[in-house]
Amino acid sequence: MNIPAARKSWTLVGLLIALLGIPLIATTFRLTLAPLSTDLTVAREVAIFAGAALLLCLVRRGESLPWSSVGLRRMPLAPGVIAVVLGLIASAVAIALGLLLIQVSGIPFGHATPPHKLPLLVTCLVVLRAGIVEELTFRGYAIERLEALTGKRWLAVGLPLIFFAAFHSSQGAGGMLLALLGGGVLSALYLWKRNLWVNMGVHFLVDFIPNVLLANMLS
């Protein structure tokens, strides 16, 4: 995909939103409003969704590009389900490896201050937002646009992955390691299928299964 010179300024703005939008919103809430109540958590998630909506508006109105330019394209059901299952398995392996490395090396992992326990529906909102918005920004938009601007696939994958890992710094070095490994799998999945729906499905399930499904089964 070639980006016309007249639209590159919009793309640069889009990259700023994609790479810095979620971290800035999350950091602002954490530093100025912590500890976050349930209502403030919902407000944070709504603000992040609003940032994603702004980015999608920029794609269509500023860049004049279709949704498919960020990976939002149709895919037959059966291949899509197979890709999600394979992505989920690969993510589980990467996370298991990361947890093993954390345990063996003693890398700090977890929030310095335990987060406020959220109601089930709000937890679902958080993991849904993570699956949708983080894949739109760190994978679909950032990878496509950086590859188009630089022609370097390694940079298009590596730079967003660094930002994605840094975004999880509140969980310690261990959280950043898990994000790096899990994000690497999701980046590879996106390069394989170039379909953001698949990535969103995998990311959502990776967060939903331990944080909602298993957590409520064991509580």
pLDDT digits (tens, 9 = 90+) for 120-177: 999 999 999 999 999 999 999 999 999 999 999 999 999 999 999 999 998 999 999 9
pLDDT tens for 187-208 read 999 999 999 999 999 999 999 9
User: Which carries the bigger pLDDT value, residue 116 or residue 55?
Assistant: 55
| Those residues with Cβ within 8 angstroms of residue 121's Cβ, 6 or more apart along the chain or in another chain | none
- For the CA atoms of 41, 42, 45, 47, what is the dihedral angle to 10 degrees? -110
Whole-number pLDDT of residue 5:
73
pLDDT at 219 over 80: no
Whole-number pLDDT of residue 50:
98
Supply the pTM of this predicted model: 0.94
Q: Do 169 and 70 form a contact (C-beta atoms < 8 A)? A: no
Whole-number pLDDT of residue 217:
84
Q: Do 194 and 120 form a contact (C-beta atoms < 8 A)? A: no
Supply 56's token pair: 């999608």
User: Per mean pLDDT, which range of 14-28, 50-64, 98-112 is the poorest?
Assistant: 98-112
| Those residues with Cβ within 8 angstroms of residue 174's Cβ, 6 or more apart along the chain or in another chain | 98, 102, 107, 108, 109, 110
| H or E element, residue 60 | none
Helices (H), 194-214: 196-208
Quick one: which of 59, 20, 5 has its CA closest to 167? Answer: 20
Q: Angle formed by the axes of helices 120-129 and 196-208, to 10°?
A: 150
Whole-number pLDDT of residue 115:
65
Whole-number pLDDT of residue 93:
98
Whole-number pLDDT of residue 110:
80
User: Per mean pLDDT, which range of 9-23, 36-50, 113-127, 201-215 is the poorest?
Assistant: 113-127
pLDDT tens for 58-117 read 999 999 999 999 999 999 999 999 999 999 999 999 999 999 999 999 999 887 556 668
